[in-house]
Amino acid sequence: MSSTALDLDVAATLIDHAQSVIEGALREIVARGGVDQNEGLAYDLAHAASALATAKSCLNYAAKGDDEARLFAAFLALTLADLANRVLGREALWGVGPTWFAPFQSFVAAYRESSFLASLAESPGPRHLGEDFAMVGELFHRFAEEQVRPHAEHVHRTNAEIPESIISGLSELGGFGLSIPEQFGGFSTGGEAEYVGMVVATEELSWGSLGIGGSLITRPEILTRALLHGGTTQQQEQWLPRLASGETLCAIAVTEPDFGSDVAGITTSATKTQGGWLINGAKTWCTFAARAEVLVLLARSDPDRSLAHRGLSLFLLEKPRGDSHGFLFRQEDGGRLEGRPIDTIGYRGMHSYELSFDNWFVPDDHLIGGESGLGKGFYFQMAGFENGRIQTAARAVGVMQAAYDAALDYARTRVVFGEPIINYELTRVKLATMAAIIQCSRQFSLDVARLMGRGGGALEASMAKAYVCRAAEWVTREAMQIHGGMGYAEEYAVSRYFVDARVLSIFEGADETLCLKVIARRLVDEVR
């Protein structure tokens, strides 16, 4: 098989064959008692299936030109080799025989060959966004380059706050209203364009900085989806214009100290009182809580714990702006809200907090959905989180692209043993692998955005997040490694990309929970 002339029919057949391996393993999980009895296999399977879904989504991209086909071939070979690594020695668990990998052998040998990969080191491939979305990308890329990047290192090194100039600039750009319908002051006209535009903008802002760029528009996206899914007409008219303009910034208060991804087990209570609700309990990892003017709070409105997630409701909790180093607010009737900052190794600027609520009063009209929203908070919140997952995948792509750009630039200028390190085969293989992973991750994220714009894509959004966020850890690590000792120094931004990437597999659905409770279970349901 020639490594320069990809046969797309062959590639599609190999993807189908790999999919049959995945489906066989799913049937083994069913036969062996389900996901909960086979967590190790289910976790590996979820990641393998997510990588394969990424590859499959790029078949159309591969047909657009030679560079596109070569990047895709490199990625598919990497995906198949990763599948082999997960199966090796566990063939019985996966339900395959000893020669299962034979159909993939020649393809992987051709497209993992070092000289082929080295030829792709400086060929990241066109994005094929189309004229309109290319303009969106250019607009937000310029903002990221001119307004975000000049502040990124200072904020990271000093754990400073996001400059107000970035927030106001992003507001003027319309960044907070990308998914808010036009009748509420946003820019959304619905359909695929809304989701694709959000993904494109998020990637570019995250290229500027994860902490003070791309993540700024995630929280209003989550609240917007919850309001559109379950809010009353009055709530939509009251809150969506304020979100679109950037007048009101929000934070998401869902996770609790004893209940991370197990949302159904949360204990923060909302007790009915005259005119509203009293909130008591604690939340943790509430990002941007100090700066935000409103918290999106998931609380137990029905004390019957047996109801699990059906006893939860979603509230809008207004608060003043607080100091990023900690805050304490009191209401006139005795309500108390305290925020303690949590120091982190990366993702600085947004700041995360542990929050304590003591009889904090929330009026009735701040219960999302009103009386009919009681007990539906989990579903409203999940409507927002599904969108947050594909946006997180886009954030990961932006961080990876920044890391690749930095590594490529450094490799071209750094001379070792009399040669720029870009001339060494190993450096080129690493850069090529990065380029293939980034481009295919981008194309998958865009495809999922289109699916979501057509009313689907929930499973695919979870798969995109699972694959792309783990990939970002490898890409940023190798970019750091190409920098050698300077990669470990804060003098170069690549060290920030590395520590920022680490959070991506943790928030918006921890990797293990996402793989076991969402991806594996839904895939198992499809083969039952």
The full DSSP string for 87-131 is HTT-HHHHT--TTTTGGGHHHHHHHS-HHHHHTTTT--------H
Sign, CA dihedral 500-502-504-507, equals negative
CB 208 within 8 A of CB 144: yes
Contacts of 324 (CB under 8 A, 6+ apart): 161, 290, 291, 341, 351
The full DSSP string for 198-229 is HHHHHHHHHHH-TTTTGGGGHHHHHHHHHHHH
∠75-60-384 over CA atoms, to 5°? Answer: 85
Distance CA 311, CA 319 (A): 25
∠231-510-380 over CA atoms, to 5°? Answer: 10
Distance CA 412, CA 49 (A): 36
CB 173 within 8 A of CB 186: no
Active site residues: 508
Tokens 């001119």 correspond to 146
Distance CA 407, CA 418 (A): 19
Distance CA 149, CA 205 (A): 9
Amino acid present at 119: S
